[in-house]
Amino acid sequence: MGLTKKSATDTPESSELTPSVPASTATSRASTPGTASMNGKDIAPDGKTPDDSSKLRTFLSILKRFIGVTDIAAVRFSLPAQLLEPIPNLEYWHYLDRPETFVAIGDSDEALGRMLACLRFWFTKDLKYVHGKPCKPYNSTLGEFFRCQWDVEDTAPSLFGQETKANVAAAGGATTKDTPVKVNFLCEQTSHHPPVSAWFVDCPEKGISARGFDQLSAKFTGTSIRVVPGSFNEGIFLTLHNRDDEEYQLTHPAAYLSGFLRGNLYITVADTCFISCPKTGLKVILHYLEEGYFGKTQNRVEGVVYRCADFAKDNISRVKDVPDKDILGRIEGCWTDKVYFSPGSTDFKKSSEKDRIQLVDVTTMRPVEKTCPPMDVQLPNESRRFWNDVTEAIAAKQFSAATARKQEIEERQRERAAERKTQNEEWSPRFFTNGTNGRPELTPEGKSVMQGLHEQKWQLEAPAVYASL
């Protein structure tokens, strides 16, 4: 059985019109590959959305009311249950569709090799959008949280440089190459206005962790929804503790949810994002190209890896503006297919194919399933248990009952918020503090949860007060 990612409900649910698409761009283990199970009922796996055109038409008719609205992520409107996927938002988002690429980021003894491994992780973290269709999970309530774990075979090879796969937790530094390692994940909805969630993931055996805030801002143009990071969302902050605490910041580009008019939703990315590591002096610029000739979607990406002499003064934002003398290599490919790295400053198309390094081929890769705490040990504000009644009703196609239960949850959250306002009380997250510069910090209880996940000790004490119960 299992454990249960992202947004908040309001009057009735704020930001519920925002589909879950990557601002950069689950379940417990199931008996059938590609199928998730919750309380014995089949539910849609990550990225799956029903082939029901009536849902899309209904959703589009609702969206039309918000043409010109600055940020529909802040709109207060409750969607009926039949337009939702039976999966909590905090469960849906986690950036770990292929956790084996995450644990291998620090393996190379070369700084360039570690940056390339970071790029491999980047292109595999949201496979649900490569092979699946966008969907609308439940919005998260204040204080809701989700925790899970992956058992990962540490088999991803180094892309460049000598490889070291050491298990820092094992006596004598035993190799992890043929030994599964544990990746642990914790996420909590820390704010309701605006809707923000904090998250943390680590793999103690490999000495790697990552954290960040998830927050989206969205605008409907009439033909597509443009989704960008909110002000709290400064990207993914990834730390290699075994490499003198090297920190990498991965920023999110804008994404577009399109296909409303044709009745076939799809995601494109058309923006620039950056990966930087001040300690090694390396930086990556990635430029996503939405369309090619004749308006055909290409999902192309091109970029450059270069050595930055002074991060404080570096203001280069375009690939073509990077001086050739600083370039270590170029990146080109299709983020829904294959992406390559070409060493040196030579234009990618003029580089030798035999010298190119394939960073990733996502055509055959699918999201890896999670392991979650059993339902009977989850707290009432853990995502799966919290939304269980709505999920079961949707699975049984009892949409009126699902909508009614969903509205009860929304109303209770409003009541609790009103009570706190009347009593002049301020709610504080249990597992995270705000931190600084987009980096949330774990509280002592948050650290305890992460340790419990690693040891598969699921039991948690109930909080002194629930924010939305």
Answer for the pair 449, 443: CB distance below 8 angstroms, yes or no. no
Give the tokens for residue 187. 């996420």
Identify the three-state secondary structure at position 224. coil
Other Cβ atoms less than 10 A from the Cβ of 410: the count is 22
Q: What pTM was computed for the model? A: 0.85
- The pLDDT value recorded for residue 228 is 87
Answer for the pair 174, 143: CB distance below 8 angstroms, yes or no. no
- Tens of pLDDT, residues 377-432: 999 999 999 999 999 999 998 989 998 999 999 899 889 999 999 999 989 999 99
Whether 318 is covered by a domain: the verdict is no
Other Cβ atoms less than 10 A from the Cβ of 424: the count is 6
Residue-number span of the structural domain to which 224 is assigned = 1-270+367-459+465-469
- The pLDDT value recorded for residue 137 is 86
Whether 170 is covered by a domain: the verdict is yes
- The pLDDT value recorded for residue 62 is 66
Backbone torsions φ then ψ of 67, nearest 5 degrees: -60, 125
- The pLDDT value recorded for residue 226 is 85
Answer for the pair 211, 201: CB distance below 8 angstroms, yes or no. yes
**Residues pairing with 422 in the sheet:** none
Say which range, 136-140, 355-359, 367-371, 407-411, has the weakest mean pLDDT. 136-140
For residue 78, name the pLDDT band (cuts at 50, 70, 90): low
Say which range, 18-22, 28-32, 208-212, 435-439, has the weakest mean pLDDT. 28-32
DSSP state of 358: E
Whether 406 is covered by a domain: the verdict is yes
Give the total number of structural domains in the chain.
1
Whether 180 is covered by a domain: the verdict is yes
Sign of dihedral through CA atoms 134, 137, 143, 147?
A: negative
**Residues pairing with 197 in the sheet:** 189, 214
Whether 340 is covered by a domain: the verdict is no
Question: Using omega within 30 degrees of 0 as the cis cutoff, is the peptide bond preceding 194 cis?
Answer: yes
Higher-pLDDT residue of 182 and 258 is: 182
- Tens of pLDDT, residues 131-144: 877 778 888 999 99
Residue 2 has pLDDT above 80, yes or no: no
Residue 46 has pLDDT above 90, yes or no: no
- The pLDDT value recorded for residue 218 is 83
Residue 222 has pLDDT above 90, yes or no: no
**Which of 21-30, 54-63, 345-354 holds the top average pLDDT?**
345-354
- The pLDDT value recorded for residue 387 is 94
Residue 450 has pLDDT above 50, yes or no: yes
Whether 346 is covered by a domain: the verdict is no
CA dist 79 and 65 (Å) reads 13
Residue 357 has pLDDT above 70, yes or no: yes
Please name the residue that has the structure tokens 């510069």.
437
- The pLDDT value recorded for residue 45 is 41
Render 285-348 in DSSP notation, one character per residue: EEEEEEE-GGG-EEEEEEEEEEE-S-TTT----SGGGS-GGGEEEEEEEETTSEEEEEESSS-G
Give the tokens for residue 259. 């296909």
Orientation of helix 388-395 relative to helix 399-422, angle to 10°: 160
Whether 305 is covered by a domain: the verdict is no
Other Cβ atoms less than 10 A from the Cβ of 61: the count is 9
Whether 184 is covered by a domain: the verdict is yes
- The pLDDT value recorded for residue 356 is 95
- The pLDDT value recorded for residue 18 is 55
In the chain, % of residues over pLDDT 70: 78
**Residues pairing with 438 in the sheet:** none
**Residues pairing with 149 in the sheet:** 184, 371
Higher-pLDDT residue of 164 and 212 is: 212
List of residues 6+ apart from 439 with CB closer than 8 A: 211, 212, 237
- Tens of pLDDT, residues 166-201: 654 444 455 666 678 999 999 999 998 888 999 999
Q: Chain-centre distance of CA 328, in angstroms?
A: 29
For residue 69, name the pLDDT band (cuts at 50, 70, 90): low
H-helix or E-strand containing 238?
strand 236-240
- Tens of pLDDT, residues 87-107: 899 998 889 999 999 999 999
Backbone torsions φ then ψ of 419, nearest 5 degrees: -60, -45
In the chain, % of residues over pLDDT 90: 55
Average pLDDT over residues 245-254: 96
Mean pLDDT of the chain: 83
Sign of dihedral through CA atoms 372, 375, 378, 380?
A: positive
Answer for the pair 184, 454: CB distance below 8 angstroms, yes or no. yes
CA dist 270 and 268 (Å) reads 7
Strands 297-307 and 327-334: antiparallel
